[in-house]
Amino acid sequence: MANSTTAKAKPSEPLIETAPITPMSVIAPAVGWLIPGAGHLIQKRWGRGLLLMGSIVAMFLLGLAMEGRIYKPNGGDILDMLGFVGNVGGGGLYILTRALDWGHGAIAHATADYGTKFLIVAGLLNFIAVADAYHIAIGKKA
């Protein structure tokens, strides 16, 4: 008979290591979502924050200039729902755009489809920036 050499975990040891919840680990992602790049700026990551802010805002404004479509919340087509999730990633830019009733998407323009993609990618990039700001806040990333 073979002996088992696997060690069993002690009940007192956590199986998953959790990050400590600090005020910065909550505030940085929230502010970073609302204002792209601001989650890094409040943590004094000036270069990364300004680069993210400039690129996300520029992509979003270029998408609007190309008459891209801003998706509204709905329960219809799966692609519309995914487009909505991408747009919501823009945070305050999305809220401002919806409040001003911009982004209807002109089908007659050839650039409108590219503009829609720019708007979605800007939101997705902001989601990645929010996750990065969170990892900096909890100390997992320098």
pLDDT at 129 over 80: yes
Within its chain, how far is the Cα of 46 from the centroid?
Answer: 19
Paired strand residues for 1: none
CB 81 within 8 A of CB 74: yes
Give 18's pLDDT tier (boundaries 50, 70, 90). Answer: confident
pLDDT of the residue at 13: 64
Query: DSSP 3-state assignment of 69?
Result: strand
Residue with tokens 């305050």: 92
DSSP, collapsed to helix, strand or coil, labels residue 22 as coil
pLDDT, residue 21, reads 87
Q: Which residues, including other chains, have CB under 8 Å from residue 66's CB and lie 6 or more apart?
A: 109, 111, 112, 114, 115, 118
- What are the residues facing 104 on neighbouring strands? 69
Q: Is 44 left (phi over 0), alpha (psi -120 to 50) or beta?
A: left
Query: Over the stretch 40-95, which tens digit does the pLDDT of each residue have?
Result: 999 999 999 999 999 999 999 999 999 999 999 987 889 899 999 999 999 999 99
Contact 37, 53 (CB under 8 A): yes
